[in-house]
Every structure is written in C-alpha cells, then in structure tokens.
Amino acid sequence: MGKRPAYQWYPGDWKKDPAVGALTPEARSFWREAIDVLFESETRYSFTATLQGWSSLTRLPVPWIENFISENKVLSVCDVTLSHGFVTILSRRMEREAKERDNARDRKRKERSRANVHSESQKSHDAPSSSSSSSSSKKEDSSELSVPDAPLFDSDSIPYSLAEYLRNLILENDPKAKVPDLDSKRFQNWCLDIDRLIRIDKREPELIAAIIHWCQNHHGEKFSWSSNILSAGTLRKQFPKLYLQAKEAGVSLWFERGD
C-alpha cells in the first residue's frame, strides 16, 4: 500500500490553539515546517535528527529551532526529546490519527479474512453434485461473477480522508455527536457520498475540504450550518447552497479549476 499523498490540515486549529499562537514567529515558522517533515517520515508523526539536520530539513536557522525547543518546554505544542545531540519531535495529534487509521485498517483486514473464510465454506457447502448438469454449473458460475463487491474505501483514499475530516470537525464542535466509527459500514457510506460528490457532482476534493471547514465553523445566531451538516450525505445534498453562501461570505476558493 502506498503512502498517503497528503494529510489533513486544520486552519482553524492552527489559529485557535493558544499554545501555537503564543509561539514567537520564528518558533511558529519552525513548527509549521516540522509538521511537513513528520508527515514524510516513516511513522508519519515523529522524526529524529540533529539540530543541523532539522535546520537542513526545514531550511531554517538553528537559533529558530533552539527557540522552539525552549518555548515548547512551557507551551507543550508537541513532544520533544533531547538525547546525545539528537532531537526527536512527535506530534501527538498526528500519532493519534495514524494509530486510528492503522487500527481501522487492521479491523477491516480481519473482517475481510473472516468473510473470505465464510464465503469459501459456503461455496463448498453449496457445490453442485457430480450429477448436476454442465449447463446448471455454468449458470451458477456466471451468477457468482456478476455479483459486484461492496464499495470499500481505504484510509489512504481521498473520499476516506475527506469523510474523516468532516467527522473530526463535527466532533470538535460536539464531542458527543453521533458520528460513525472509522471501521464501520456507516462510515464507508460517508466515504461513498464523498466519492459521489467528486465523481458525479464533479466537485474538486480541495473545494470539498474548504466547504467542510467553512460549514463546520459557521455558527450563526439564527442558523448554523455546523449544527445541520452532520453527515456526508447531508453535505452532498446541501453542497450547492453551501458553495454559494461560502462565496458570498468571501471565502477564498482560489483552487477551483477553470473549465
């Protein structure tokens, strides 16, 4: 399985997090660059290098990195470990999300394995006897081949990533919101709705991500999209309205492709 080509970025979290906001501009610049380094690492959430190594990776001077390490002792933006001249930086959020994806993937593999075993057992039980006619056997084979597999979106797919982004923002607004588990059939239905939004409705993934972020941060006095868009199906249904209102609100949609 290939690496995820991109990761979810939460502009609202970046701006609202008081710890990040309290960093000096130099330290904050390093942390922003360090996040990209962590994503490209083998674990996708931690990396170890010398100060000079971090400087080369982020293209920032060593004093800026030293400032970040010093400020992080108080602000605890991430986990930093110093050992024998090496600096290990770990993003707690990226670690949590990576482990959630791994757990969901493992559970899905186990489900597939159990389903395959059950399928093979059923085929053996239902196998035609030697006295069955050849025409009947061919008909059964044809019938089996015509049955499509249920849609399954891997955690590295764009629909999965966007559905997960929507789910995470809903939970940030309401930790008790009834959202599906990542390894559930209901979440796969969310992915399917996002997939249809991309394939059938011809909406760009970047645009969908921007609209998700906008609607989940829309908290009006009389009407709030954040309390009304609580599933991928509703997102797709209301997308034309969301798109128009976002543009009227002055949301920058510079990444839209021209026809």
Q: Quick check: helix, strand or coil at residue 47?
A: strand
Q: Which tens digit of pLDDT belongs to each residue from 202-238? A: 999 988 998 999 999 888 777 889 999 999 999 999 9
Whole-model pTM: value is 0.50
Q: Which tens digit of pLDDT belongs to each residue from 94-129? A: 898 888 877 777 777 777 676 666 566 566 555 554
Residues in the chain: 259
Cβ atoms 21, 32 nearer than 8 A: no
Q: Where in the chain is the domain with CATH 1.10.10?
A: 11-94
What is the distance between the alpha carbons of residues 108 and 39, in angstroms, rounded to a whole number? 24
Structure tokens at 208: 């969908």
Q: Which tens digit of pLDDT belongs to each residue from 135-186? A: 444 443 333 333 334 558 888 889 999 999 999 999 989 999 999 998 888 9
What is the distance between the alpha carbons of residues 105 and 161, in angstroms, rounded to a whole number? 13
What is the distance between the alpha carbons of residues 126 and 152, in angstroms, rounded to a whole number? 27
What is the distance between the alpha carbons of residues 49 and 34, in angstroms, rounded to a whole number? 11
Cβ atoms 79, 89 nearer than 8 A: yes
Q: Which tens digit of pLDDT belongs to each residue from 26-36? A: 999 999 999 99
| CATH no. for 11-94 | 1.10.10
